[in-house]
């Protein structure tokens, strides 16, 4: 037969409460312990890492991928002269430095103007050389004339001195003496004139050459003084 136990239900309820309190305390303790633990390091596969000794220096990382390299910024450079693109040497995205050749332009008008300027330069240089030769020739001729005039003057002077001495000795007439003295005076004037002419010719060479030399330098410094088959576009300095 069954015997009623009125306190069994209360004991079971009390045990459940005790067990629940113990479980709650244990759960709280575990939570606190887990909260105080440091996070674990992430794990990676061995073939994805590179293990080596730590060194000081630059670290280079190369990344390869498929696609087209696109520049972040494009800067357009205007050509100084008109023309059509004859040859493209560098494409967008290439690394350039000041003075790097980018492309070549061709323009028949520029080529013709350069050829004309070069022809004018050669003509001016030839004229300068011809002028130098002419002035040197004139200088030599003037020097020769001056030397001959001086020689004639020295001879006439010597003859006048001799005739004067002979006149004192009564060996020549007074008319011959005066003629000799007149010839010596004329030779002296001619010599003075020729010496001045020689000095002037010598001093005038440099100014005349300087004028023609300035014209040559002007043509040489002209932007189109040298013939070009193409215009080369270069990157501007930073």
> Percentage helix, strand, coil, to 5, in the chain?
60, 5, 35
Residue that the structure tokens 């001619």 belong to:
190
Q: Which two tokens stand for residue 27?
A: 């759960």
pLDDT at 235: 47
Q: What pLDDT, on the 0 to 100 scale, is given for residue 225?
A: 54
Using a 10 angstrom Cβ sphere, with 0-12 exposed, 13-18 middle and 19 or more buried, the burial of residue 110 is buried
pLDDT for the residue numbered 29: 83
Are 78 and 231 in contact, with CB atoms under 8 Å apart? no
Residue owning tokens 């990676």: 44
Give Cβ neighbours of residue 145 (< 8 Å, ≥ 6 apart).
194, 197, 198
Measured distance CA(187)–CA(151) in Å, rounded: 9
Task: Give Dmax (Cα) for the chain.
Answer: 207
pLDDT at 230: 42
The whole-number pLDDT of residue 224 equals: 59
**pLDDT in tens for each of the 238 residues of the chain?**
455 555 666 777 777 788 788 888 888 888 887 777 777 667 778 777 777 787 888 877 777 777 777 767 777 767 666 777 788 888 877 788 888 888 887 878 877 888 888 888 888 888 888 888 888 888 888 888 888 888 888 888 888 888 888 878 778 787 887 888 888 888 889 888 888 888 888 888 888 888 888 888 888 887 655 444 444 445 444 4
């Amino acid at each position: 037969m069954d015997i009623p136990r009125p306190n069994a239900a209360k004991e079971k309820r009390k045990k459940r409460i005790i067990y629940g309190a113990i479980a709650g305390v244990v759960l709280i303790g575990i939570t606190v312990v887990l909260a105080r633990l440091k996070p674990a390091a992430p794990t990676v596969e061995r073939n994805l890492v590179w293990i080596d000794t730590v060194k000081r220096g630059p670290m280079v990382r190369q990344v390869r991928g498929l696609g087209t390299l696109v520049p972040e910024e494009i800067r357009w450079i205007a050509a100084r002269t008109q023309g059509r693109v004859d040859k493209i040497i560098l494409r967008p995205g290439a690394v350039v430095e000041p003075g790097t050749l980018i492309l070549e332009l061709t323009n028949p008008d520029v080529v013709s103007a350069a050829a004309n300027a070069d022809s004018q330069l050669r003509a001016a240089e030839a004229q300068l050389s011809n002028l130098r030769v002419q002035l040197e020739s004139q200088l030599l001729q003037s020097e020769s004339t001056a030397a001959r005039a001086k020689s004639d003057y020295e001879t006439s002077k010597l003859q006048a001195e001799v005739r004067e001495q002979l006149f004192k000795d009564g060996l020549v007439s007074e008319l011959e003496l005066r003629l000799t003295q007149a010839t010596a005076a004329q030779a002296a004037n001619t010599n003075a004139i020729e010496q001045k002419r020689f000095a002037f010719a010598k001093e005038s060479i440099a100014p005349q050459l300087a004028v023609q030399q300035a014209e040559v330098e002007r043509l040489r410094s002209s932007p189109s003084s040298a013939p070009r088959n193409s215009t080369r576009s270069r990157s501007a300095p930073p």
